[in-house]
Every structure is written in structure tokens, then in C-alpha cells.
Amino acid sequence: MDKFVIYQSKLFGSVRVSGSKNAALPIIAATILTDEECVIHNVPDLRDIQTMLAILQSLGKSVEFKNGTLTIGSKPNKSFLAPYRLVKTMRASFCFLGPLLAKRKKAKVALPGGCIIGPRPVDLHIKGLRALGAEIFIQNGYCHAQAKELVGQHIYLGGAFGSSVLATDNVLMAAVLASGETIIEYAACEPEVEALALFLKKMGADINGIGSPVLRIKGVKSLFGCEFTIIPDRIEAGTFIAASLATRSKLTIEGANPFHLTSVLETARRIGAKINIGPDFSIEINPTSNLKPVNITTLAYPGFPTDLQAQFMACLCLASGISLITEKIYPDRFMHVPELNRMDASIQRSGPYAIIEGKDKLCGAEVMASDLRASAALVLAGLTAEGKTQVLRVYHIDRGYEQIEHKFRKLGAKIKREKQ
């Protein structure tokens, strides 16, 4: 197990973001829908990607992954089992349910289990697939599904906390091979869902309303192989925006899509950054030396992403005043609060709210990473803190950031990986 050792750093220069993990994972699952070869570019080399590929191989697909390009073919094996030993490590692997059901008429996928950031039920997945005609039951920790034929329906996918990205993905992938028309109302609008829909269209799916909360899908008999490029990772881009603010460092972020970051860039401006978008869509962040307090509410896209809540909290620990963060996606997603407080931050949590009283400085400490985005927040805090910070259990951050310590070192950060 590894840890990061970090010292206070001033950053400078430019950084290029990797392909989006959250877009790549369901697209990898979608290759189950065809027996033809798919070639996918700009795939980040991450632990979650490797886990997804291991499940894909267990389901009878051949995989070649080299220099960010993933080539996926088919083997005679037509298994429909996604085993718990692999699914347990990553919730997105539940996305195999829809394509297995559509292509192989049967699926047995392990339930992903609990999550440290709070309950993340699969009820909307099951609701949508049952509406298409699937018979589904839960037994011994597995979701069993089968259907002789899926038939298009009008499906409302709203839940207690709004739309669901992965439920939209699962139902969309099942609907493309269903007979008739499917209408998904209250579909998630995230760029990663849009990317999946565009990938499916390249495979021959008939989908309208892409990027909107109403998707219309006319089922086709079969899908083809295709070539596709994964969109940039907006969460990684947002993490470097937060790093620029927290360390008061001018940075240029290359390879991102600023249109996917509208709410994040607006929040950065309110905190005190001047932002310039270049003709090549590079994002130049010029932070103020005096960070301003703000109120942030996490919402479904295009609102402020829950996956950037922790990183921006680390910034606001150094703002001159009191900030309020309201978490409306995962109300329990505050595992980073006690760790930031160990670094002399002043944060009080009450239910889905966190009240942050900004301070002049943070102090280095030994802290524990609890999840992927909390890990990134602790790295940012360590880059601003006086003294030595050690972030333990950084395997969490390896799930979603490609060589993050190398990217930070190129920006001048004093950070190194050591055995824990």
C-alpha cells in the first residue's frame, strides 16, 4: 500500500487532462452489444479501467490496451456472469446488466454493495429494465435478469435525488436492441451519458434527444463495431482548477472541454479567479491571492458536480470568510471533513451541510484517504499546508486519476509516492 508525502508548493505551467474514466466505463460495458471489433481511443490507464476490462474478459471478450487505445473483440465464450470478486470493487461494473440482458437475454451481475459516500441503490436500474420486460430478482447478493424479448416503453427514471447516470446508461443500453420505441424521461444529462449515446449511435443505434432529459430510442436488430474517442475528464480538469485556486498558482489546463465545466468555472470566478479560454479551448486560471468565500450546492449536471465538492472544500478552507456547501446528491459525502480538520481546517458538518470558516493557513498532518475524490482534496490541502503532509491509502486516488503525482510534479509540486 502506498502513501503520498507532500510539502507546501507553488505551482506553475500547463497540464493536460486524461480521458474521462466515467465516460469510458459504461462505453466498455456497451461493447457487449456487438460481436464486432471496437477500437476506443483516449482511455485512461486506471485501476477502475483494469477492473472493467477483467470483467469484460470474463464475459468472453478479447482485450488489447496499449498507449491509451483499447481494442475489444469477441471470443466464443458467451458467459452472462459478472462475478462479485470483480464487481465489488467498483459500482460502475453494474452497467453490464443492461447490455448482457439485451444481447444475451440473460444476466447475473453481483450487487455492488455499500459505498463510503452513502447509499447508492440500484432500484432505478431495476425499475427501468423491468419496464422493458425483464424478469429480475435478487438472490444471494446477485441480480438475476432474463428476457426472451425486450419491448420499448415510456419510462420515467426520476429518483429521490433526481436523475441517475448509471441507471440511464443501463436502460439506454438495453433499449437500443429492444423492439419498438423507448422513451426515457428524466434521463441524466451528464456529458458522460451523452458520450455513451454517441458511441451507441456510431454502432448503429437509433437515438434522439442526446444531451437532453428525454431520450427516444428506436430499437434495432443488431449493432456494429466502431471507432470512438473518449471525452476529456471534466472532474480531473476541475481538480486542477481547484489546485490552482488553493495554491494561488497560475495554471493552464489543456485538453479539457470548457463547455462541460460551466458551473465549475463560474464557481472559480466567484472564489476569485480570472479565467481565459484559449482558441484551442485551453483554460487559463489566474487566481487571486485573497480567496473569497462562496456557497456551493451540488446538483445533477449542469449543476456543480458532487465529484468536485471535496476538492473545492479544500480551497474554501483558505478563503477569507465563511462558506457553505450543501450536498444534494450524496448527503453523506463528507468523509474528508475530519481529515481536513486534522490539518487545522475549521469545518462543521450538519446533515447535508458543511460550514467552512476560512483560515490563513493549514498545517501538515498524517491523514487517511477514504474515497477517490476525498483523496484528491487531501492532496490539494497538503500542497497548501505548512510542514509535511502524508496522505495514506492512496490506492483510492489511483482508481480515478492517471499518474496524478507525476502531473503535479511537472507543475512544480513537492509530492512523492512512498510505500506505506
Q: Please give the positions annotated as active site.
A: 115
CA distance 127 to 186: 13
Q: Give me the amino acid identity at 275.
A: I
Q: Is the peptide bond before 83 cis (omega within 30 degrees of 0)?
A: no
Identify which of 358, 306, 354, 356 has the alpha carbon closest to the alpha carbon of residue 326: 354
Identify the CA nearest to 191 among candidates 264, 278, 89: 264
Beta bridge partners of 6: 389, 415
CA-only gyration radius of the chain, Å? 21
Tell me the H-state helices in 39-96: 47-58, 84-87
Largest CA distance in the chain: 64
Cα separation of 31 and 267, whole Å?
37
Angle at the Cα of 286 (from 285 to 289), degrees rounded to 5? 135
Whole-number Å distance between alpha carbons of 275 and 359: 24
Contact 329, 298 (CB under 8 A): yes
Q: Is 360 exposed, middle or buried (0-12, 13-18, 19+ CB in 10 A)?
A: exposed
Whole-angstrom distance, CA of residue 172 vs CA of residue 140: 27
